[in-house]
Amino acid sequence: MPAPLASPDEIVRRAEGRLEAALKRVRPNASPAAIARAVRSEKGLLASLVRVQGLGLYGTHLHLRWNGEQMLPDSAEAEYLIRHAAIWNIFRRAATKAVGLAIFTGVPRTAVPAGLNLRLPAGGLAVSTAAVQLDGAGAATIPLVAAEGGIAGNTAAGATLPIVTVQAGLDPQAAVLDADGMAGGAEEEDDASLLARVLIAIRTPAHGGAAHDYSAWIQNSFAAAKVAPVPLWVGPGSVAAVVAMGSAVAPRAPIPAEIDAMAAHLDLVRPVTAEVYVIPAELLAVPLKIAVVPDTAPVRAAVEAAALAHFAAEAGIGLRFPRSRLSEAISAASGEYRHYFDLPPADIVPARQQLPVLGAVTWETAP
């Protein structure tokens, strides 16, 4: 049953009533008006004691409620959420490091050792992770990882990274990122993401290779927005983990270096009999052609925000995306009275590796 928390004033009024009744019992000959003044007067000694006691009792109630909230992970503060998570062997994901590939040039057949430091445009360092040899044309593609975690390591394609450590034979002492750049860097996991993973672990405990295990294995170590395991990807014993990186609101396909990192991680935790593939999600843009009433700039903005939030919350890789649910989300937008939309014309049925995302929004005039 619910246990509402009384306000300080309610606690004081109750205490005054009980004290007044008790004094009348022990002093039946006293004037009821005099007892009432002693108990309820703003300047009375007994009234002051009642108020002090009431405020103290209110503080006790607040502390008890706070303690109760820490007993469950979905209401616990960060310190206790971390303890709940640890019980389920889940730990806050540290800042992840950006990865990518860079093209090194120089004297043909020059040996390039692993561990070269390169300067990133944002000021941090990237480190080469493989020892290679330049080919006959004097070029080689080498994997890099940011020295520190965080979004600062994410770097656009084509960026030139000066080599910090002088290396003979490399010319012009710089490397150029390939067409995918460096990606995958993310800040330390926030409380909301940690709680979501704890709730998933409670509701769908690990089963040594069940479909949901692949999502947990990836999201425990990488800042993946959505993961969809697909059994029988290329036949019996094969499983694909289709992954979208970024955020639920702004997902993106992982770059090859991220795919390689996730595949290497899954090799350590997958069942020994499973043949596992990491597949980049294909973003399926869903255009929205809509008319709203009233047709004002604030209502249009609210409708577009509601549609974007709905895609983030309910669109899944390879899952049907119901048109009726999208219409319901738009109906809840602030200021919207009614709407009509021609696109999408029906439910979106994506392929097994596709993730529906909000495409271009076209505004029409309502009938």
* DSSP track, 71-129: TSTTT--HHHHHHHHHHTT--PPPPBPPEEEEEEEESTT-EE-TT-EEE-TTS-EEEE-
Of 59, 45, 47, whose CA–CA distance to 8 is shortest?
59
Do the Cβ atoms of 213 and 206 come closer than 8 Å?
A: yes
pLDDT at 293 over 70: yes
pLDDT at 177 over 90: yes
Cis bond before residue 236 (omega within 30° of 0) = no
Distance, in Å, from the CA atom of 341 to the CA atom of 272, rounded to the nearest integer, reads: 49
Distance, in Å, from the CA atom of 84 to the CA atom of 71, rounded to the nearest integer, reads: 9
pLDDT band at 161 (very low <50, low <70, confident <90, very high): very high
Distance, in Å, from the CA atom of 263 to the CA atom of 286, rounded to the nearest integer, reads: 29
> What is the arithmetic mean of pLDDT over 341-356?
94
pLDDT at 98 over 90: yes
Q: At what angle do helices 32-40 and 45-69 cross, to 10 degrees?
A: 50
217: phi > 0 → left, psi -120 to 50 → alpha, else beta; which?
alpha
pLDDT band at 28 (very low <50, low <70, confident <90, very high): confident
Work out the percent of the chain whose per-residue pLDDT is above 70.
99
**Alpha helix locations (H) across the chain?**
8-26, 32-40, 45-69, 78-87, 191-203, 211-219, 256-269, 297-314, 323-331
> What is the arithmetic mean of pLDDT over 180-209?
90
β-pair type (282-293, 354-363): parallel
pLDDT band at 353 (very low <50, low <70, confident <90, very high): very high
For residues 205 and 138, the model is more confident at 138
> What is the arithmetic mean of pLDDT over 258-281?
93
Between the two ends of the chain, the Cα-to-Cα distance in Å is 50
Distance, in Å, from the CA atom of 142 to the CA atom of 175, rounded to the nearest integer, reads: 9
> What is the arithmetic mean of pLDDT over 175-193?
94
> What is the arithmetic mean of pLDDT over 82-87?
94
DSSP state letter for 163: B
Taking the whole predicted model, whether its pTM rises above 0.85 is answered as: no
Distance, in Å, from the CA atom of 299 to the CA atom of 331, rounded to the nearest integer, reads: 11
325: phi > 0 → left, psi -120 to 50 → alpha, else beta; which?
alpha
Average pLDDT, the chain: 91
Residue 27's pLDDT is 83
Residue 44's pLDDT is 74
pLDDT band at 283 (very low <50, low <70, confident <90, very high): very high
Residue 2's pLDDT is 64
Q: Which stretch of DSSP H or E encloses residue 144?
A: strand 139-146
Residue 259 sits at φ, ψ, to 5 deg, of -60, -45
> What is the arithmetic mean of pLDDT over 279-301?
96
pLDDT band at 141 (very low <50, low <70, confident <90, very high): very high
Q: Report helix, strand or coil for 291.
A: strand
